[in-house]
Amino acid sequence: METFELMHGAGLEQIIFFREDSVDLKAVVAIHNTLLGPAIGGIRVMDYPDQESMLKDATELAREMTLRTGLSDCDFGGGSAILCGNSRKGEAYFRAFGRFINRLAGQFYAIMEVGTDSKDLKHIKRETNYVLALPEAFGGIADPTSITAQGLLHGIRATAKIVFGQSSLENVTCLVQGAGRIGSNIVELLVQAKAKLLVSDKNYDRIKNIQDRYPEVSMVRPEEVVDTKCDLIVPCALGNLVNSQTVERLKCRAIAGGASNIIPDMETGELLHKHNILYTPHFLIDSGEVIQADYELKKRSRTLLQSAIGEIYGRTLELLESARENREPPVKTALRLATERFANIGSIGRRISI
């Protein structure tokens, strides 16, 4: 009964477990909501100590994806896939998971997440067509990492417009936390936007590569991110960077990034609001990969996709202005707007929570 209680509390429609002992694969797919269309979710591969930890991640990511699709004008529902293990197990490991996805017969579409890359999804696609947002070389219409970073930049610019009165990022001090797949791309775009850039990552090689390319970029130790003075923090790494214990230590005016779970709960969003720190919901501005998936499924062109990514700026600006007018945290506004969209289609607003 504990699993059913979890599903009820989180508003999940389904939880599906899968194992393939020959490749040491243990997987769970969580489907949160399918009112707008089939569930879509990233494939996260990590080592988990127990099933409870896997389910927690799967539930939170699926719920976030529902909000992401609800705010991004996509015809998808929210889902997620969690694979417990080492992502470097190769072709057999991911083809086994591809066969599992195929059995779901279109209830779930997969995209990249932490621990997977385009080569992994290429292996999955050998077993199923329910894989989207791939690079052009693998049958997609664009590089999903680049597309997501472009959308994130639009969201950051909209945030700057609200906080600083201008969308230009020139001389705005941005601290990028995490220089992985998305972080390294947003660093490049922020350099081009002439922002003053600080970068932090636990991986020294990533920092070294960035500083070799952009000597003007300064490094910040991971443990110093929260206490570093800057205009805007751009979280692009795992973990709750901001929580009830760290809010008072922050020395920034805004937070806008592409990491999942930047804040752990609505209460933290309220706390940031009380401290006059603008938090732009990540599930609004990091939706580029999902939008690409939607456009691939509908067989729309790359030109139309680029136009849709550009709309993230206006969508973010509208949400932040609404939050300001209503004197509420933007994360609360985002929840309200997503719920309104679902309510217009069917009465499921009670299922949505973060």
Residue 353: the pLDDT is 47
| CATH code of the domain occupying 145-286+317-337 | 3.40.50.720
Q: For residue 96, is pLDDT > 70?
A: yes
Q: What is the DSSP string of 126-182?
A: TT-S-B----GGGT-SS-HHHHHHHHHHHHHHHHHHHHHS-S--TT-EEEEE--SHH
Q: How confident is the model at residue 217 (pLDDT cuts 50, 70, 90)?
A: very high
Q: Do domains 2-62+78-131 and 145-286+317-337 have the same CATH topology?
A: yes
* pLDDT tens string 22-35: 999 999 999 999 98
Identify the three-state secondary structure at position 30: strand
Q: Residues 293, 110: contact at Cβ < 8 Å?
A: no
Residue 346: the pLDDT is 63
Which has the closest alpha carbon to 71: 268, 342, 256?
Answer: 342
Q: How confident is the model at residue 348 (pLDDT cuts 50, 70, 90)?
A: very low
Q: How confident is the model at residue 251 (pLDDT cuts 50, 70, 90)?
A: very high
**Lowest pLDDT segment from 43-52, 248-257, 314-323, 343-352:** 343-352
Q: Residues 231, 172: contact at Cβ < 8 Å?
A: yes
Question: Quick one: CATH architecture of 2-62+78-131?
Answer: 3-Layer(aba) Sandwich (3.40)
| Six token digits for residue 170 | 């020139």
Max CA separation in the chain (angstroms) = 57
Query: Domain locations in the chain?
Result: 2-62+78-131, 145-286+317-337
Identify the three-state secondary structure at position 232: strand
* pLDDT tens string 100-127: 999 999 999 999 999 999 999 999 999 9
Q: CB-based contacts of 230: which residues, under 8 Å, 6+ apart?
A: 173, 174, 175, 198, 251, 252
* Count of other CB atoms within 10 angstroms of residue 186: 28
Residues in a beta bridge with 218 = 198
* Count of other CB atoms within 10 angstroms of residue 146: 17
Q: CB-based contacts of 307: which residues, under 8 Å, 6+ apart?
A: none
Residue 229: the pLDDT is 98
Residue 350: the pLDDT is 44
Q: Report the percent of the chain where pLDDT is more than 90.
A: 87
Instruction: Report, as an integer, the average pLDDT of 172-179.
Output: 97
